[in-house]
Amino acid sequence: MTMRRLGASARLMLLQAASSHWKVPLAQLTTEPGRVIHAASNRSITYGELAPLTLDLPIPDPQTVTLRDPATFRWIGKPVQRIDVYDKSTGKAQYTIDTRVEGMLHAAVQHAPRLGLQVGLVRNEDQIRNLKGVHSVHRLEGAVAVVAQRWWVAKRAVEALQVEWTEPGGDSTVRYMPANFDTQAYAEQLSKTTDAGDEAEREGDLQQGLAGAKKIVSATYHTQYLNHAQLEPPSALARFGAEGNLDLWLPNQAPDLFLADVAKRTGLDPSKITLHSPLLGGFFGRHFLYPNASPYPQAIQLAQSTGLPIKVIWSREEEFLRDVLRPSAVVRFRAGLDEQGMPVAFEAISATEGPTEGIANKQGDKIDPTAVEGLAGKKYAIAHRRIAQLYSQTPVMLGYWRSVGNSINDFMYEAFLDEVADAGGQDPYELRAKLLQGNERLSHLLKTVADLSGGWKRGPFTAQDGTKRARGVAMASPFGTETAVIAEVSISNGAVKVHDIWQAIDPGSIVNPAIIEAQVNSAVALGLSQTLIEQAIYKGGTPVARNYDLYRILTPEMMARVHVRVVESGAPMGGIGEPPLPAVAPAVANAVSRLTGQRIRSMPLSQYRFDT
């Protein structure tokens, strides 16, 4: 609605400018895409021509402008194809990695195997410097670089450098990765925590609710670290001009933040910096401003050192070494049930470090909301609730990952809610329906996804192809959008096969339903990937996977059929790129638990072998 009011205000100013320009009544004017029309005189004028005439006009109050009747919408609510699809599909689209400028040289980088280590002795530096095609060898913060005529030459040369890495001094501010860090051991350490944590949400009296409960249900859940694993590895191109200005090309999701950081690093006035933001070859949260996780500071330093335009490309192996990860978390749940098997008390304590805390490299004065989203703010009517975070700093660099904390916490919350349902003798779909009584929006959404799937049936049941199957249901409320998902699964050779995902999604208001459906399909794919196979593992302080050979992602044959129904409730507009993801994992996990009798309390499911 805000955008509609702003658009209507701009349209009114264009009409006022045209009315004054032509000296005709405002009521005689209409608009077509990009133009104002005066039908009586068969005249038209472009918005671009009118724009200068609007500069001295008073800005209308957005709250009082007349909005277009929805019945006359040209585009809103109608499926429209994205205009960038053709270029992306034919190779015409240009990404940072494709960018070239005159006189440019290429640079490749070898980072320290563990973050925080510094460059010591480089034993064969002179030998590498004299290789054919090599321009120069450089020492950077926690890395070495080779500049060459071609990137492949630079890559082969930098990989051949024999570097002795040294431990950091006491004054180092870089997040340090110890040589004994192991993700499995760290998860076990978190699972042994018993502290109550800092409260993020409280409703009612938890202890009173638990004391009066007829049954207590408890469980501990765990989620894995994840890489971003986007298709385009990070790159950056820096060029200093004769006037002391800087042109910088880099993939980014927050230009203003990057511009401020570049100005701080270089001492340049922001007016001297031109930040180019080409298309992103996948990102999912990878290209925010993360310390030590982007090549643009290296490109700037190398361009300053050589006096030439320098493009730095991180190899896939370097990207997996310096990617910021989605946080891991261990959550302890408790629920108290009444005589009817309904939850009357609910507690979740998450031992984790939120991504915002990780970026800051410290605990803030307040709880990082990204650490508990998907635990806090749930809409189920449970009288006594307590959600808390037990801050647990990790040496792993952390960042935002598609749907952020919801991708972690909704899996655990919604899977545990199924445990609560089973413990109370409740059907999990019916339990959610009861807990949402009085919430018309979510009750309707839950019914919608059931209708979309042909009616709720938990199973197990035998499908037409003879396979034994079951279904799971889950809900999530990320970024102002509400979602409900049903998943249908079977087991083949001990592994999970997801056949169908039904998703009902309510973003409040709809602009382009085609983009909504595309984003749902995309988010389901990534949601299934994290559910079934993805995980980032560290041993000895270094990542086990340095490329896609060991970091498995969803393959086409593993993708489920996706069925989407968009609900327009009229609520304030929410997001669409991230919200379709979080409910996928718990819906799948709940279906697998029903089919196999094996409770799923951690991802990915590839760590288990199942039997029906």
Task: Provide block-wise average pLDDT over 10 residues at a time, the chain (612 residues).
Answer: 85 95 95 94 95 92 86 88 92 96 98 98 97 98 98 98 95 92 97 96 98 98 98 97 96 96 97 96 94 97 98 98 98 98 98 96 93 98 98 97 98 99 98 98 99 98 97 98 99 98 97 95 98 98 98 98 97 95 99 98 97 82
How far lies 13's CA from each of 33, 64, 70, 72, 75, in Å?
A: 15, 13, 21, 20, 21
Q: Is residue 372 part of a domain?
A: yes
End position of a domain, from candidates 373, 408, 443: 408
Do 332 and 404 have their domain in common?
A: yes
Question: Any residues with CB less than 8 A from the CB of 596 and at least 6 apart, and which?
Answer: 491, 610, 611, 612
| Nearest residue to 502 via CA among 429, 421, 393 | 429
Which residues are 492's β-sheet partners?
495
Q: Phi, psi (5° rounding) for residue 8? A: -65, -35
pLDDT at 264: 97
Q: Which residues of 60-92 are buried (b: 16+ CB within 10 A; e: fewer)?
A: bebeebeeeeeeeeeeeeeeeeeeeeeeeeeee
Do 141 and 248 have their domain in common?
A: yes
Two tokens at 535?
A: 């995980």
Residue span of the structural domain in which 133 resides: 96-170+234-313
Do 309 and 341 have their domain in common?
A: no
Prediction pTM value: 0.93
Which residues are 495's β-sheet partners?
492
Do 216 and 240 have their domain in common?
A: no
Do 250 and 165 have their domain in common?
A: yes
pLDDT at 3: 79
Rounded distance, CA 245 to CA 175, Å?
32
pLDDT at 61: 87
Pairing state between β 343-352 and 384-391: parallel
pLDDT at 170: 83
Do 288 and 217 have their domain in common?
A: no
Do 190 and 304 have their domain in common?
A: no
Total domains, the chain: 3
Q: Phi, psi (5° rounding) for residue 283? A: -155, -55
pLDDT at 546: 98
Q: Is residue 503 part of a domain?
A: no
pLDDT at 366: 92
Q: Is 575 exposed, middle or buried (0-12, 13-18, 19+ CB in 10 A)?
A: middle
Q: Is residue 583 part of a domain?
A: no
Any idea which residue has 């803030």 for tokens?
A: 364
Rounded distance, CA 476 to CA 575, Å?
13
Do 161 and 273 have their domain in common?
A: yes
How long is the chain?
Answer: 612
End position of a domain, from candidates 391, 408, 425: 408
- CATH code for position 255: 3.30.365.10
Any idea which residue has 């800092």 for tokens?
A: 198
Do 151 and 192 have their domain in common?
A: no
Rounded distance, CA 523 to CA 501, Å?
11
Which residues are 489's β-sheet partners?
470, 498
Q: Is residue 294 part of a domain?
A: yes
Do 165 and 287 have their domain in common?
A: yes
Q: How many CB atoms lie within 10 A of CB 193?
A: 15
| Nearest residue to 192 via CA among 390, 353, 417 | 390
Do 289 and 329 have their domain in common?
A: no
Q: Is residue 102 part of a domain?
A: yes
End position of a domain, from candidates 354, 381, 408: 408
pLDDT at 44: 95
Q: Is residue 222 part of a domain?
A: yes
Q: Is residue 273 part of a domain?
A: yes
Q: Which residues of 300-321 are buried (b: 16+ CB within 10 A; e: fewer)?
A: bbbbeebebbbbbbbbebbbbb
Q: Is residue 54 part of a domain?
A: yes
Rounded distance, CA 28 to CA 219, Å?
69
Rounded distance, CA 254 to CA 496, Å?
38
How far lies 378's CA from each of 165, 413, 436, 477, 601, in Å?
A: 47, 9, 10, 7, 19
Do 44 and 161 have their domain in common?
A: no
pLDDT at 294: 97
